[in-house]
Amino acid sequence: MYSSSWQQRVSRFFIIPQRVILAIMGFLAIMNAYTMRISLSIAITEMVNKSHGATEEDGGVCPIDESANPDDFTGGEFDWDEELQGIILSSFYWGYVITHIPGGMLAEKFGGKWTLSLGILSTAFFTLITPWAVELGGSTALIVIRVMMGLGEGTTFPALSALMATWIPAKERSKLGSLVFGGGQVGTILGNLLSGVLLHNIEGWSSVFYFFGGLGVLWFVIFTLLCYSDPESHPFISEKEKAYLKQELGTLERDRTLPPTPWRYILTSVPMMALVCAQIGHDWGFFIMVTDLPKYMSDVLRFSIKDNGLYSSLPYLVMWIVSLSTGVLSDWLITSGRMTITFGRKLFTTIASIGPACFIVGASYAGCEKAVVVMLFTFAMGLMGTFYPGMKVNPLDLSPNYAGTLMAITNGIGAITGIIAPYVVGVMTPNHTLEEWRIVFWISFAIFNVTNLAYIIWASGEVQPWNTPHLMNKSVEAGESIDVPANAKKSVQSLEAIKQ
């Protein structure tokens, strides 16, 4: 036990509860992960020679503003075509999908602290050495570096899900979950905005990678000092918070006696497959916007590098605000009995699918009306923020014990779209014209709606029987009820508390 008097005296210095500190550091983890991930999307517009492709005379791209600096539209020294750029931008996800499931299993077995922190640290290291690698090996070295970054960052979401399942009560799950996952939007905002500022004010593109890689190292140091894998192992948690978490979660420790991951039940679970479908829809639309929106702003709308960073970040600012506000709204609707967990997850996921699908297609028909295009993209990404109190926290509903593995499966499969989407965009937009991009957005429209339909039909917000495989008997395998031993009533009661 960690209840010595000096540790309790130290706990008085923490005004904010430790579970909230964990959520804040989780938010900063995802924020750092996204800044390192997407900084290349802005930087590549200054790395690549832009002398090829459509011209204003063709009517395929928008005219350059008279007040703009012509040098902003010449690009850099690398002669990489659109297909190669698509491969470079997608290469991060080649590594990213590989470490999701191992990351989830490691977090459940050994705790999420080191699984998360070491993954972010490795991503920061490879971000820092990116300029050096490109100088030595060109596009091939950049692809290798991006794959290595993806390997490190692949543990982020599974490890955070395991930490949240251990620390965050069900009644605070939408609110704090939206805070944590909102780090993706803030990271995208800062990644785009600050990259534009750095590239505008500092000659060359290397500063982007040095800046964001350094922030990742700083986060690692602070996180390892403040955060722990579960409440019982935390030396500075107050007795009051421990009592509250004990009451809400039923335990202060990870269950180290859990059987191996029940893969057969998970992979044949209908609600789980519905969740995977929703994740594919979310990730396709999100990765199209995160990875390729800066290119659209630069190549088609012809924004300057500084304006590109600003306008590419604006949609994610609105998305972040929406995700936080609807997270609070979702928790209130559920805890007040106005909405079931299942209905809430489906409602917010549907808003996050249909809204963006319509607005991004509308943006493709707005032509060169730059203010209208930015407004429509902003509406699209803003509504996508309701994914977070929707399907993003759904793994914690289905299985608190295996939340890390569930997040690994859904995020890992969804991340495959990160491999496919940038490459498809590169192949379909060789001349980066409005007409070529319109087809890309119509494909996104279809994927959003088809995957959402599957989620509406089959999703669930209830704890699944395979969350406690050691309590399942053969009748459960046949689809019947759980036979609960008398000595397991306490565990089942804690599960019922989570379901409430």
Residue 390: both structure tokens together: 């929707």
Range of the domain at 330: 261-479
C-alpha to C-alpha distance for 279 and 409, rounded to whole angstroms:
10
List the single range of 69-78, 338-347, 412-421 with lowest mean pLDDT.
Answer: 69-78
Residue 266: both structure tokens together: 């998970």
275 with 398, same domain?
yes
324 with 462, same domain?
yes
Going by C-alpha positions, the residue among 251, 248, 242 that lies closest to residue 2 is: 242
User: Considering the domain boundaries, does residue 95 fall inside one?
Assistant: yes
CATH of the domain at 323: 1.20.1250.20
For residues 159-164, average pLDDT:
87
227 with 277, same domain?
no
C-alpha to C-alpha distance for 89 and 332, rounded to whole angstroms:
40
Q: Which residues of 326-355 are buried (b: 16+ CB within 10 A; e: fewer)?
A: bbebbbebbeeeebebbebbbbbbbbbbeb
181 with 279, same domain?
no
- Tens digit of pLDDT for each residue in 113-154? 999 999 999 999 999 999 999 999 989 999 999 999 999 998
pLDDT at 66: 59
User: Considering the domain boundaries, does residue 256 fall inside one?
Assistant: no
Q: How confident is the model at residue 498 (pLDDT cuts 50, 70, 90)?
A: very low
Going by C-alpha positions, the residue among 34, 20, 27, 35 that lies closest to residue 323 is: 27
Whether residue 60 contacts residue 435, with contact meaning beta carbons closer than 8 Å, is answered with: yes
User: Considering the domain boundaries, does residue 9 fall inside one?
Assistant: no
281 with 173, same domain?
no
107 with 207, same domain?
yes
198 with 303, same domain?
no
Residue 117: both structure tokens together: 């922190």
pLDDT at 121: 96
**Helix runs in 97-205, H state only:** 100-110, 112-128, 130-153, 156-167, 173-181, 183-201
Whether residue 163 contacts residue 110, with contact meaning beta carbons closer than 8 Å, is answered with: no
How many Cα atoms sit within 13 Å of 128 on the Cβ side?
12
- Tens digit of pLDDT for each residue in 14-43? 678 888 899 999 999 999 999 998 888 888
Q: What are residue 223's phi and psi, to 5 degrees?
A: -60, -45
**CA of residue 349 relative to chain centroid, distance:** 15
Residue 150 to residues 7, 142, 231, 312, 338: CA-CA distances in angstroms?
38, 12, 30, 23, 41
Amino acid at 352: A
Q: How confident is the model at residue 253 (pLDDT cuts 50, 70, 90)?
A: low
pLDDT at 18: 85
- Tens digit of pLDDT for each residue in 281-313? 989 988 887 777 777 777 777 777 667 677 777
Q: How confident is the model at residue 342 (pLDDT cuts 50, 70, 90)?
A: very high
C-alpha to C-alpha distance for 215 and 223, rounded to whole angstroms:
12
For residues 379-384, average pLDDT:
91
Residue 437: both structure tokens together: 């991009």
For residues 457-473, average pLDDT:
81
User: Considering the domain boundaries, does residue 138 fall inside one?
Assistant: yes
pLDDT at 480 over 70: no
User: Considering the domain boundaries, does residue 1 fall inside one?
Assistant: no
List the single range of 55-64, 259-268, 383-392, 463-472 with lowest mean pLDDT.
Answer: 55-64
C-alpha to C-alpha distance for 470 and 364, rounded to whole angstroms:
53
C-alpha to C-alpha distance for 291 and 91, rounded to whole angstroms:
12
225 with 272, same domain?
no
C-alpha to C-alpha distance for 287 and 293, rounded to whole angstroms:
9
pLDDT at 247 over 90: no
User: Considering the domain boundaries, does residue 251 fall inside one?
Assistant: no
Total structural domains within the chain:
2
pLDDT at 10 over 60: no
Chain-wide mean pLDDT for the chain?
81
pLDDT at 75: 59
- Tens digit of pLDDT for each residue in 55-79? 554 556 677 665 555 555 555 678 8
21 with 164, same domain?
yes
User: Considering the domain boundaries, does residue 241 fall inside one?
Assistant: no
269 with 195, same domain?
no
147 with 207, same domain?
yes
List the single range of 148-152, 157-161, 214-218, 348-352 with lowest mean pLDDT.
Answer: 157-161
Highest mean predicted confidence (pLDDT) among 107-116, 205-214, 256-265: 205-214
209 with 286, same domain?
no
pLDDT at 476 over 80: no
Residue 47: both structure tokens together: 């790395």
